[in-house]
Chain A
Amino acid sequence: MLPLNDVSPSKGAGGNPTPRKARYLPAGDRALSVEFGSTISEDLNQRVLQFDNLLRKVCLPGVLETVPSYRALLVYYDPLIIEYEALVEQLRRWETEIAPQVVEPPRRVEIPCCYDPELGFDLTAVGTQHGLTAQDVVRIHSSAQYITYFIGFAPGFPYLGGLPEEIFTPRLVRPRDKIPGGSVGIGGGQCTIYSVESPGGFWILGRTPLRLYDPSASQPVLLRAGDRIRFHPVDRADYEQMYRSVAAGTFRTNIQESV
């Protein structure tokens, strides 16, 4: 357990206006939700991740685990170890001390993606909606950098921000029953990678040979909140080869630990 002053840098750095105070809401008798705002934005998500990072570093007795999302942090606690009021009081004190320096430098992860129309079966349909060719959609989708807001919904399932507005596409009216694991999809202004086979309403542009969730691995979940993602286009032959080496456990994912 680190003393707090190791992780709480001096205030006033950066010159940003003081952000709005968070709302603390009970979520049952063993969790509370810290809401930092009510929109989806990178800034708000950064505050969530910074606060999450701080809590993980200080290991407050009674705090069991935390779950970051777009604009809120769910804090699980044991009320037999720490009382709600004491916990909220402590969190409020720390909230004023969050600063950008607290967050670890984001990782950069390259996700190989095969945009073959057989795997990216909605590529043409998405292009048609925007008056673009399939190649345009691939170029636009693979040129952007995405930020992982959080992992949720299913094991290893990332919520990605940063989709270029040119290809914002309303979700499918009728979600599909089965989307294959590894499928890369877009819906509204969001992008995701289906970590496991599941139902879904996103338009599928391609597929990655990587396993975002691998129950046999010592670290089953590949991505984490804060990761910066780029999709690297690969052809079908490379995809098949990568798929085999991922299955054999010999593939090395390109992850850069710091900027």
Chain B
Amino acid sequence: MSLAVLHAGFQTSVQDLGRYGYLRGGIPPSGPMDRHAFVIANRLVGNEDNAAELECAFLGPRLECQTDTLIAVTGAEVDLRINGKLEVLWTALRIRSGDVIQIGPARNGCWTYLAVSGGIDVPPVLGSRATYSRGSLGGMEGRALKNGDLLPLKANLQGHDSMQGRQILSQYKPSFPAEVEVRVILGPQEDYFTPDGIATFLSGAYKVTHKIDRMGYRLEGPPIAHRTGPDIISDGIPSGGIQVPGDGQPMILLVDRQSTGGYSKIASVISVDIGVVAQAQPGRRIRFRSVTLTEAHRILRQAEAGLVKIIEGQS
């Protein structure tokens, strides 16, 4: 039982929810850029949240499925074709052995997820199937997919008939506006910035540049002023941490980030909004809004509770 890779697409990789406990050795968690879309794809096909999926960047792969199964594709807005016929996203779809799945280029958003019933069965490395390409770790031989790969699948789950056609409620399907609002918690080094610098950061529009990858996104906009200089004594960088180097242009650090760094961090994106950043294509604009830690935790609890009600027909 496997998925044959006819065309690998661009930087398509195997991901699960990530590898934890190794940041102290400089090994990042990896995992999905858009956790929300990832989890929903798994839930649509009845998988546990951590089951391994494929993550596609901008241009998806063409795959031949060598078993009867159930799949779901979520995340960016793409053309999904099965044997050439357009199919809907965010939906559990029945697949027959020999069917060809094609995920086209992303029209809106950047990252697309393909979940298969049971999950992808590459061997876990340090407790995770997530691919960390820069460190040649996990996934398919520590790298992005290439043409001709054969991805082993876990045994199918039962109950395909009842799950087939399941969708998420339409209000949960993402939109991809030209400008998104992203909520942040200021700090831990907001005291490295002038009050004007903080005001600039919270009022300006920051354009996503072409320098984006799984490590982080570089943005471009009104320069953020430091009090004295950008350098701190290197320390740990949290997920969604926003570093501001000497040129005043923010960079948001993501799943494959370096574990520590020496630029002052003005704020961190709240975890619920990290996927929103990840799906912002080059040229889109981001505006930052500051929330308190208490608010951020309330938003997180609401999002977690909302997830269980997101799939149609499930309560």
Contact = CB atoms under 8 A, between A and B. Distances in A.
Interface of A: 25-31, 33, 35, 38-40, 64-74, 76, 79-80, 83-84, 150-157, 159, 195-196, 213, 215, 220-221, 224-225
B313 interface: no
Interface stretch (B155-163, B280-288, B293-301): B293-301
B175 interface: no
Contacts of A155: 25-27, 135, 137
Contact of A27 (B136, B188, B300, B301): B188
Which 8 A-B residue pairs are closest in the complex by CB-CB distance? A74-B236, A28-B268, A152-B260, A221-B25, A25-B188, A67-B236, A29-B296, A31-B238
Contacts of B233: 38-40, 69-72
B126 to A, nearest CB: 7
Is chain A's binding surface mostly helix, strand, loop or mixed? loop
B31 interface: no
Interface string B266-307: 001111000000000000000000000100110011001000
A80 B265 contact: no
| Contact-size category for B | 35 or more
Interface of B: 20-27, 125-126, 135-137, 142, 185, 187-188, 233-241, 258-261, 265, 268-271, 293, 296-297, 300-301, 304
A211 to B, nearest CB: 12
Contacts of B136: 215
A114 B240 CA distance: 40
B133 to A, nearest CB: 11
Nearest to B21: A65
6 contacts: A29-B270, A38-B233, A155-B27, A196-B135, A220-B126, A224-B24
Contacts of A196: 135
B260 A67 contact: yes
A33 B26 contact: no
A80 B304 contact: yes
A156 B25 contact: yes
A27 B238 contact: yes
Contacts of B259: 67, 151-153
A191 to B, nearest CB: 15
B300 A79 contact: yes
A213 B135 CA distance: 9
